[in-house]
Structures are given as C-alpha cells and as structure tokens.
A and B are shown apart, each in its own frame.
Chain A
Amino acid sequence: MPQLTIKDLSLGYENGAILSHLSFEVNAGDYLAIVGENGSGKSTLMKTLLGLLKPLAGEISFGDSLRKNEIGYLPQQTLVQRDFPASVTEVVLSGCLSNGAFHPFYNKADKARAAANMARMGITELKDRSYRELSGGQQQRVLLARALCATEKILLLDEPVSGLDPKVTMEMYDLIKQLNDEGVTIIMISHDIAAAVRYADHILHLGEKIFFGTVEDYKKSEFGEFFLAKEETV
C-alpha cells in the first residue's frame, strides 16, 4: 500500500484552482522530485499535502501506517525573523512536539532524539549557538534535524538548496540522499532538474502539462528531452 495516495486532487486558493486532476502515489522509501516553473503550484501542492491548505477537490490518503501529522517539513523560506532569539537546540527540540500525548515538557527520549538528529546532520557543535547567527546552509541543517525529530517516515522539502553555494548544495543533496538510503521517503521541490534526475527516482513535473513517473520515463518524455538537452548544450 502506498504511503501517500493523491487522487484527482485540485488545489489552489480562494480565487480559483492552480492545478486540477492531479493523481500520483508515493511509496515508502521513494525519492520524488517535484519540478516546474515559478508559480506552477509546487509550494501550494506541498502545503496541501501538509494540511495547511484545504484541497479544493479530490483526496489525499495516507497509508502504510502513516498518520496525518507524521510528515516532516522544510519550508521554502522560513518566515523566522532576523532577530528571533532561539538556540539551535530549542529549534531542533520543537520538532518533537508532534509525538503522541500531551506532555508539557520534553522528556529524555525527546532530548535523545534531538541530540541524535543533530549528530546526524553534523551540527552538534552548533547546539548552543543562536539560530539567527548561522549561515544559510547551517540553518537548513538545523531545520532538517527538526523535521527528522517530527518523523522518520517522510520528509517534504521545499527547495532545500535555494540560496546555498555550489559546494554546500552538493553536501545538502548528499545528506538528503543519505536519509533516503536510510529509508526516509523524500518529496523534494527543486528547480535543478539535473540534480532531480540524478538523485530522485520519481519525478512530478507541474506546468501546462503534468508528468508523473519514474526518472527513466521522464528522461524519455518530451519534458526530459527538452530540459536535459538544454543541460548538455550548456
């Protein structure tokens, strides 16, 4: 049974649908890259999957023992303000709030999970630093660690490498791939089709025409031929 089944989904805001009749499936352990032009509705789709926006029509169902709130999320731009006082540990720990019954405070297990995920993201030395004083790449790692505290099953990443330099971008992609190899399902929005094709195993292309399928099929399709041909000539 797929982890996530999207059937005939229409999404958008009050002023009308941006995408309609979207259907696809995500299985446990998949790495799905969502590509498409600016404004094609990638972030909107992600917000709908997360339950931040109500679908206009269609349905999203969760299977494979995935509960609705067991999704980790890395937002496109964090709306966090420049002067927000928060230590790295505080930010990462806040990912633990989703788990189970109401506890007013973090317990030992929460703290252990936060520490483990910081180690996994290589940010243990930063744990007492102020979040706002970190570089863009370091901040992304902190937010990834927070997302991993919320779930080990599925991560939704909205342009995780935007604003990062080429070296850090590579590191970020490798890190995400490594998580995927460890069994975390990844749904990632990216503008970098070459990277999407290299790392992902499925592609969802949004735009005038919609493509959903494996990377192999994508490369053979008209979209793939167009974009990848362009890549090669560069």
Chain B
Amino acid sequence: MILGASKLAIYLQYPFVQYALIVGVLIALCSSLLGVTLVLKRFSFIGDGLSHVAFGAMSVAAVVGLTNQMLIVLPVTIVCAVLLLRTGSKARLQGDASVAIISVTALAVGYLLMNVFPTSSNVSADVCGTLFGSSSILNLSMAEVWVSIVLSVVTVAVFVVFYNRIFAVTFDENFAKATGVKTDIYNLIIAVIIAVVIVLAMNLVGSLLISALVIFPALSAMRVFKSFLSVTVCSTVLSVSTALIGILASVLLSTPVGPTIVAGEAIVFIAFWIIGAVKGVKKA
C-alpha cells in the first residue's frame, strides 16, 4: 500500500501522467452527459458505430498523409452522427440496424485501406491500438491536451445551456415540437455533441470500448436514481471517478488504460444494480 502510494506520487510528477489524467477526466465527463439520452432513444450502440466511422476516417487520413487527422475525422463523424440520428426516428431502417450497417462498413473500409496502403510497418498493431485504445492517452502532446480541453468545455457548456430542451426532446419529441420547441435543431445539437465526444474518447478507450464509456454510467445511475437531473449528475460523477481511478490503476499495474476503465465501469454497474434491487425490495 505504502509502496503503491509512493510509486503513485512519483508517477504523478510526470507530465505525461498529468496530461492523461486531465484529458481522461474531461473525456469521461463529456461522454457521460448524453448517455441517458442515447439509452432512452435506443441508440446505445451509436458510440460503437460512430467510433468505427472515425476509425475509417482516420485510415483515410493516414493513407492520404494528412498530419492533422482531426480535420477529416471530426467532420466525417459529425455528418454520420447527424444522418444516423435523423434516420433513426423516421426511416424504415431501424436505428440500431442502420448503426450496425454504417459501423461494419466503415470498419471494413478502414482496415482494408490500412492493409492495401500500409503507412507503417506494423498495421495490425495500429489497428489493435485504434480499436482497444492505444497507449496514446499516455503520450499526449501539449496541443492534444489543449484541443481536448477546448472541445470538452464547449461540449459541457452547450449541454448545460440546452439541458432543458434536451430533456424535452428526449422525453416526448412530439409534444416538444407541437409546443414550438425546435426539435430538429436540438436533435442536431445532440448528434454533434455525440460525434465530438466519440472522437475525443477514441484516444482514451479506443473505438470498441466507447459504448461502455457512454452507456455504463447512465445505466448504473438509472438503477438507483429516478429524476433526469439526479441521473445525469450521478452518471457524470461515476464516469469521472471511474476514469480517474482507472487511469491511476493502469499506470500502477501497467495494464492497458481502456480495458481497465471499462472493467471499473462494469464493477460499478453491478454494484448499482444490486443497490437498485435492494431498494426496490425494501419499497415493495
């Protein structure tokens, strides 16, 4: 224990660990905000789908030789998010089916491109890193840290300002629309926030595990809390603390960051599930 603490104290002096903590906490904060909305709109897997799109876009950027991949990854992901969330409500194709189609297609194209036009000697390691979260959160540059900070601040601000509208649109879109809430705009805002969050979160946990980061805190909070506000607050707190503990644990135990965090989320979920069940039994 003491050994662990002193080891931690040493690690915390390294800028790369500090950066990882800052960025990790911000990503966890942002990604938990829309979890409730996504679960309730039956878009639990949009995180998966969009991150695969982002992966596809990244490989295109790598093949083309763009140095700043964000320039292509962010717009492409935003466009897909908007399309997916729009079709989800009306189109014949079910939301989850269209997410699945886009997701596997983008994944396949991305992997194909990386194989046909290899940009580095070890393609499969690159792919594996993108999917499961490389160690890239542990070697962030100053610039990347700033980009994450700015994007997260904007995301949180937008969410707070539109919080009541997001609630209304999620709870009963028809009523909101009938009484003059511009639901199309808010659906667009929701889609853009999600896309930004996904692109950010890919650094932390990689595309395969993003769904966990987006969905787990919301699901855990929904076991125990009953109002939208308390669920939102609880899921942010859970998400931030799990990310913090997960990053520290992975540094100490030399485990991969993404899976460590997701394992933590799973444990929290089980705990909350039990608490919820016990509460339910007491009430009955």
The total of chain A residues at the interface (CB under 8 A) is 38
Contacts of B176 in A (CB 8 A): 94, 97
Q: How many A-B residue pairs have CB under 8 A?
A: 92
Contacts of A95 in B (CB 8 A): 175, 179
Decide yes or no whether A52 CB sits under 8 A from chain B: yes
Of B10-18, B72-80, B209-217, B227-235, the stretch lying at the interface with chain A is: B227-235
Contact A105 B164 (CB under 8 A): yes
**Smallest beta-carbon distance B97→chain A, Å:** 19
Chain A residue with minimal CB distance to B182?
Answer: A102
Contact B179 A85 (CB under 8 A): no
Q: CB-defined interface of B163-203 with A at 8 Å, one 1/0 digit per residue? A: 11101100110111111110000000000000000000000
Decide yes or no whether B282 CB sits under 8 A from chain A: no
Contact B164 A98 (CB under 8 A): no
CA gap between A50 and B161 in the complex, in Å: 27
Contact A146 B175 (CB under 8 A): yes
CA gap between A84 and B225 in the complex, in Å: 11
A52-B177 in contact given A78-B172, A94-B168, A106-B164 (Cβ < 8 Å): yes
Among B227-246, those with CB < 8 Å from A are 227-231
A90-B228 in contact given A80-B171, A85-B36 (Cβ < 8 Å): yes
Contacts of A105 in B (CB 8 A): 164
CA gap between A71 and B174 in the complex, in Å: 12
Contacts of B146 in A (CB 8 A): none
Contacts of B180 in A (CB 8 A): 68-69, 98
Contact A94 B226 (CB under 8 A): no
CA gap between A74 and B221 in the complex, in Å: 29
A97-B178 in contact given A78-B172, A83-B222, A85-B36 (Cβ < 8 Å): no
Among B33-59, those with CB < 8 Å from A are 36, 40
Contact B181 A52 (CB under 8 A): no
Decide yes or no whether B117 CB sits under 8 A from chain A: no
Chain A residue with minimal CB distance to B178?
Answer: A50
Contacts of A129 in B (CB 8 A): 226
Chain B residue with minimal CB distance to A71?
Answer: B178
Decide yes or no whether A41 CB sits under 8 A from chain B: no
Contact B164 A94 (CB under 8 A): yes
User: CB < 8 Å: which of B162, B174, B179, B226 contacts A98?
Assistant: B179
Decide yes or no whether B160 CB sits under 8 A from chain A: yes
* Closest 7 pairs (CB-CB, A-B): A69-B180, A130-B226, A87-B227, A98-B179, A50-B178, A150-B179, A98-B180
Interface residues in chain B, defined as those with a beta carbon under 8 Å from any beta carbon in chain A: 36, 40, 160-165, 167-168, 171-172, 174-181, 221-222, 225-231
Between-chain CB contacts (< 8 Å), 20 pairs: A50-B174, A50-B177, A51-B177, A51-B178, A69-B179, A69-B180, A83-B40, A83-B222, A84-B40, A85-B221, A85-B227, A86-B171, A93-B164, A97-B176, A97-B179, A98-B180, A104-B160, A104-B162, A104-B164, A105-B164
